[in-house]
Amino acid sequence: GEDVEQSLFLSVREGDSSVINCTYTDSSSTYLYWYKQEPGAGLQLLTYIFSNMDMKQDQRLTVLLNKKDKHLSLRIADTQTGDSAIYFCADRNQAGTALIFGKGTTLSVSS
Amino acid sequence: ETGVTQTPRHLVMGMTNKKSLKCEQHLGHNAMYWYKQSAKKPLELMFVYSLEERVENNSVPSRFSPECPNSSHLFLHLHTLQPEDSALYLCASSPEATSSYNEQFFGPGTRLTVL
């Protein structure tokens, strides 16, 4: 069945790099996504990667995709306290009609 | 602001009440979604509408009843809920339900508490 797995918590110090990992089961997706949820808000698209890419860089964000292992990661360089949030990895569902999300990784940044 | 609004933001209801959640999108999208977000569980897809037609219903109990009168509005009618239905209910929209690139735009959610 469809599944997206993430670790639940990550704690880092301000200025360090954060790496959030995700594994997924459906390998037919054309795109994979990272969403961010701040307290009291809905999810907002942070970045995405096309499935024929291994890496995508967007300012402080680096997305790595290993299709063979069905592993996706999000690296945040120079993590700031404002990066504290819940980060969700998302994949298409098999019906191709919606996204399926992991449980979310809560990133806590201490100063 | 994502262009997707939800009302009310908070709702407390008893198990015998009937209430409705409302979602409106101002983005000209054709697809709308309801998700349920509970603590320590993955986001659960509940319903998908494409051009006002329901295209997916993920084994959701009948005490949740969606309605999509037009492509800009989506409702979730609630009746005879259980305390375990307490959660954050998120609405989302996207340009199309079945396009390969499916960026979804989320509303802020309705925090529902069932007593």
Q: What's the confidence (pLDDT) of residue B41?
A: 82
Report whether pLDDT(B58) > 80.
no
Query: pLDDT of B15-47, one tens digit each?
Result: 988 999 999 999 999 999 999 999 878 889 999
- The CA distance from A38 to B111, in Å, is 15
- The CA distance from B104 to A44, in Å, is 8
Binary contact (B109, A30; C-beta < 8 A): no
CA distance between the termini of chain A: 41
- The CA distance from B84 to B19, in Å, is 16
Q: What's the confidence (pLDDT) of residue A92?
A: 85
Query: pLDDT of A33-65, one tens digit each?
Result: 999 999 888 999 999 999 899 999 999 999 999
- Nearest Cβ partner of B100 from A30, A45, A97? A30
Q: What's the confidence (pLDDT) of residue B56?
A: 75
Would you call A34 an interface residue with chain B, using a CB distance cutoff of 8 Å? no
Cα distances from A97 to residues A93, A94, A106, B47, in angstroms, run 7, 8, 27, 10
Report whether pLDDT(B88) > 90.
yes
Of B2-16, B51-65, B73-87, the one with minimum mean pLDDT is B51-65
pLDDT classification of B52: cutoffs 50, 70, 90 = confident
List, as ranges, residues 58-97 from A with C-beta within 8 Å of B: 88, 92-93, 95-97
Report whether pLDDT(A104) > 90.
yes
Query: No. of H helices and E strands in chain B?
Result: 0, 11
- Nearest Cβ partner of B55 from A35, A41, A97? A97
Mean pLDDT of B75-91: 96
Cβ neighbours of B40 in A, within 8 Å: 8, 103
Residue B112 distance to chain A (closest CA, Å): 13
Report whether pLDDT(A18) > 90.
yes
Is the link from the previous residue into B108 a cis peptide, with omega within 30 of 0? no
- The CA distance from B79 to A71, in Å, is 41
Query: No. of H helices and E strands in chain A?
Result: 0, 11
Would you call A42 an interface residue with chain B, using a CB distance cutoff of 8 Å? yes
Q: What's the confidence (pLDDT) of residue A1?
A: 58
pLDDT classification of B76: cutoffs 50, 70, 90 = very high
- Nearest Cβ partner of A88 from B43, B105, B107? B43
Binary contact (A97, B42; C-beta < 8 A): no
Chain A residue with minimal CA distance to B54?
A97
* A83 DSSP assignment: G
For testing the chain A interface, which of B7, B29, B37 should be mutated: the one with the most A CBs within 10 Å?
B37
- Nearest Cβ partner of B48 from A30, A31, A97? A97
Residue B91 contacts residue B73 (beta carbons within 8 Å) = no
Report whether pLDDT(B65) > 70.
yes
pLDDT classification of A69: cutoffs 50, 70, 90 = very high
